[in-house]
Every structure is written in C-alpha cells, then in structure tokens.
Structure 1
Amino acid sequence: TLNGWWIPAKEAKSARPLIILVHGWGSNAARMLPCIEALYDENYHFIAFDARSHGSSGKDGYSTMVKFGEDIQSAILWALSHKVEQICGIGVMGHSIGGAGTLYAASRTPLIKAVVTVGAFADPRTVMAKTYHKTLKIPSILIPLIFKQMEWRLGFRFEDIAPVNILNNIFGKMLIVHGTDDEIVPFSEAEKLAEKAMNWGNLQFLPLAGKKHSDCRSHPNFWPTVKTFLKSSLAD
C-alpha cells in the first residue's frame, strides 16, 4: 500500500494538469513539499507519495528504480480512477532514484507528457559500483559478479532498465537537471542522458554550476526553468 497526498489545484474551475512528485532514496513525500509550494501558484494538481519501503508506505524488500517507476504508474492509475475529470495532462518530477524511476515510468506510460529529473543516474550500476568500492571497500573485480547475482534475484538485467537505454521509449518531453558538483551521482551521468537524447528534440538539459546532489532547487535558474518547461510541455 502506498501512502500519499492528493493536493488539488489552487483554482480548479476546469481540468488542470497533474504533477506527480517523487522523492529520492531514504526520503519521503514530505521532502517534496517545497516543490508544491514553489509550483502551487501555477495551478496544478499534485500527488506526492512515499515509495514502497519508504515513509508510511508498505514494506516491499529492497528498493529499486523499477519499483519507484511502478509506484509512479500506480499513482497515475489512482488519479485516473478517482480524479480523471479534473486532469488534463500529466507531468512527473523526480529526484535521484526517483528521477530514474520517473524515466522508467515514462518509457512505459505514454500518458506522461512532461518529465523533470534532478540528480538522476544514467545507469544504476555507476552509483552502486561507486558505493561498493569506495564505501564498502569491495574490490572492483568482484563488483560485476555482485551485479549478476542482483540481476538474478531482482528478475531484470540492469542493461535493460538503465535510463540511458530506455530514453528512446519516452514520448513526453524531458528536462534533465544536474548539479555539476554532485557528490552522489556524478555529473557525467547527466551528460550521458543528454547526449543520448539531445538530437531528438524532446530533451532539455540544465546543468547547475556548483550545485551538489540535494541543493539544485536553490539555484536561481532552477524554478524559472522548471516552470517554463512544465507550462510549455503540458500546454497541448
């Protein structure tokens, strides 16, 4: 069971776009409240939820970007089942693994018209390998074997779900935001995403100089760019 909030638009005299907000690893929906505050005057509906095994949602083993993506799809199904007459267009904004999950969901849900990721990775193995080697001191030669075991346990190949490999399945427009000094997900991950999709015409890349993994929203260019992107992407 997912715990979440439905927050209606400020003025909902007619159908309005829905923005789904997705937190990162070890976080919860409350961390997305500043996003709702920043976007509230844009007159969107909002859903913010605790991903499985986070916050007040039910436990479901090890969290993955696939589970985050499936939870986003569940939120969309709930909205379409309960609020469909109030909604015209869906956008999703996710941070870190929530951003990667957003790309996963968008690659499987054509209804998502706008995607905003902040600090998302291009391939989960990049971040995991960094953690295993630098933090857990696991020898680099053993890490591929660990990944193979994880794939067997999780039931999917990382190659098949890596965001950089599924961008071509996304119908909506994308805004990739990343701090150049991100200490968790290297900035090069965002560059890989941008390079893969830049020629398609549906991706905008916003590098934020000097920002790290969790402070991008304080950059003066962040909210003006996000607001303009959402408005144009959800206008159709």
Structure 2
Amino acid sequence: MKGLKKLLFFIISSIGVFGGVFLFFWNMAKKIQQPLRRQITSVPSVPYENIEFPSKEGIVRGWFIPSKFEETPPLIILCHGWGSSRDTVYRYVDRLHEEGYSLLLFDVRGHGESSSVKALTVKTFRDDIISAVKFAKSRKDIDTNNIGLLGHSFGGFGSILSLSKGNTAKAIVIDSSPIKFTTIMESFLKQKKLPTYPLVPILTKFIFMRANITTRETKEDLDCIKALENTRTPILMTHSINDNFVPSSELEYIKSRVKINSFYVKSDGHRDSQSDPDFWENVIPFFNAHLSMRSKNFISEEKNG
C-alpha cells in the first residue's frame, strides 16, 4: 500500500513539474509573440493618404505617399521589422520620394495601428507583405506592373518568404534581415540577457506550436534558402558589419548557399543602413533598373520640373 502511495505521489509530482515547465515556456513564447506596440509618433512631411486593406483575418493600416510627379509612377512598398511600426521606415522615404517613386508604408498585424494576431511570427509578415502587394495592384494612380519592395529585418525575412507564396513585386531590397530561426532566438535572448542554450530550441518549438506551424511547414514554406533558389525576382541584400542585433554573418550564410547580389555598409547598429552613402549608391540604381523608372514622359517632367 505504501509503495502504491509513493508511486501515485511520484506521478502527481511529475505531472505538476511537467505542467509547470510547460506553462513557463508557453507563457514565455506568448510574451515573445506579442511585442509591445510602438505607437505612431510622427507622420510624413509630404502629402499622404491613410489607407487600410484586409490581410487574412485582420486589417492592415498604413500610408500611401504619391509621387511628386503626375504620371502614374512605380511604387515601392516599405516593411518594418519586429516590434516596430510604419513610421520607423520613414527613414527611407525622403530619398525614394525625391527619386520620384510613390510609396506605401504599413503596420504589420500585431504592430502599430493594425489588427492584433494571436501568435505573431514571420508568417504574419509574409502574409501582410503579399496583401500589401495585392492592395497596391488595385490602385489606379501607380504603375501596377512596376512595384518594388524594401524590407527591413523581419520585414526582409517576410519579403524573402513571400517569394514562394505569390509575391509579384518586380524588385526587392533586403536590409539587415535574419535568415535562420536560431539567429532570431539567440538575438532575442541575448538582448534579455538570458542563456541561449537550451532555451533556443525549446522556445522555437513553443513559438511554432502556438502558431500551429508544423515541422513540414518550416522546411517547405519558411525556408529562405529555398525561396531564393526558386525565384527569378531580382534581389539585392545589404547588411551592416556593425549590426549589434542581427549579425552580418546572416548575409554571409546566404551568400555561401545562393548566388545573390549583395553589399555591406558600415553604419552603426541594426536600423541605420540608409545613413551609409553606399546604401543609396546601390539601392537607387537597383530599383531604377528593375522598375522601369525612366520612362520618356517621366524624364520630361523631371527635367521641366
């Protein structure tokens, strides 16, 4: 009888411990997947339009900035990173707007003023980017055959993955993007001053579990290398060698596996690539070359203006 009681006590204790550990990691994953919303603290200094469009079960909100020229121009969609909002990518706007592009900035669901999501992942970024391109193609005030995309960090990660899920953008620039899920988790844990092992593999599994992402899906739909190998869309990638959050070794990882156009900058931190002159010296010619920017009418307007 005593042996049975000991066995029952052991079983109940084990269940309690297991349940406590499970709940700890579940709540930790939940916290990671619900970043604090960054409030919109500024608006464009040039004319803009508030916009919104559907994406999956939610609504995405953002800004449309028309070109400074009257002709229907190419459009570049700007996508922010994890825990940011559309006004954080406004740093790209002045140079691109001066070049004559129309621009679309939006808050990924779970960010800014867009709808909430239960379990935010890179899939959310991927799906909202696809929805943004679809929305852009419905407008009559842009050249819908010439849409570009510039994604920063997780916005870049989602942009790459969207290539295999119907993204019809004509040219894509990827700025400071993570590529591997392990890198993302390591960066987050280091920022919180937590040990990476064994937390990285455990938390990654819980994050996928909360988002109903299967192992098969991670191999087939969430693989950046596979997406880049199978696309014909022109891609240009950049990363700062001084990035203190997502290391530039992510770009090295890509280059060791896929032939890709790329360059490095020397700006400080994770969100300042555009401050390096080399950034625009590479990005502007790339977009101009692939988005048919210099039509005859456009050149005429630009010279006369």
Alignment TM-score, normalising by the size of structure 1: 0.88
Give the CA deviation at 1:132: 2.9
Structure 2 counterpart of 1:141, one-letter code: P
Are positions 1:195 and 2:253 aligned together?
A: no
* Residues 77 and 121 of structure 1: CA distance in aligned 2, closer, same or farther (over 3 Å): same
CA distance in 2, matches of 1:134, 1:177: 23
**CA distance 1:88–1:138, shift in 2 (3 Å):** same
Instruction: Give 1:128-167 correspondences, 5 Å limit.
Output: 128-132=185-189, 135-138=192-195, 140-156=197-213, 157=215, 158-160=218-220, 161-167=222-228
- Give percent identity, aligned residues only: 30
Q: After TM superposition, give the deviation of residue 109 of structure 1 in Å.
A: 2.7
Distance 1:213 1:83, change over 3 A: same
| Equivalences, count | 231
* Runs of at least 5 residues in structure 2 that lack an aligned partner in the other structure: 1-58, 294-305
Q: Which moved more, 1:149-158 or 1:43-52?
A: 149-158
Distance 1:62 1:151 in 2: 9
In structure 1, the residue corresponding to 2:261 is in which secondary structure?
A: strand
- 2:269 maps to 1:212: yes
Q: Taking structure 1 as reference, are residues 133 and 162 closer, same or farther at Cα in structure 2, changes over 3 Å only?
A: farther
Cα shift at 1:137? 2.2
Deviation of the 1:44 alpha carbon: 1.6
Deviation, 1:212, is 2.6
Q: Contact 2:133–2:167 (CA<8 Å) still a contact in 1?
A: no
Larger Rg: 2
Say yes or no: does 1:175 pair with 2:233: no
Instruction: Give the aligned residue type for 1:102.
Output: S
Corresponding residue for residue 92 of structure 2: 35
Aligned to 1:48: 105
Note the alpha carbon deviations across 1:89-120, whole angstroms, 9 max, x for none.
11110111111111112232352111111110
* TM-score for the superposition, normalised by structure 2: 0.70
Stretches of structure 1 lacking an aligned partner (at least 5 in a row): none
Relative to 1, partners in 2 of residues 1:159 and 1:123: Cα closer, same or farther, differing over 3 Å? farther
- What is the root-mean-square deviation in Å for CA atoms of aligned residues? 2.1
CA contact (8 A) 1:110 1:172 kept: no
* Contact persistence 2:182–2:200 (CA under 8 A): no
Report Cα offsets for 1:19-61 as digits up to 9, x if no partner. Answer: 0000112211112223121111222221100111111111113
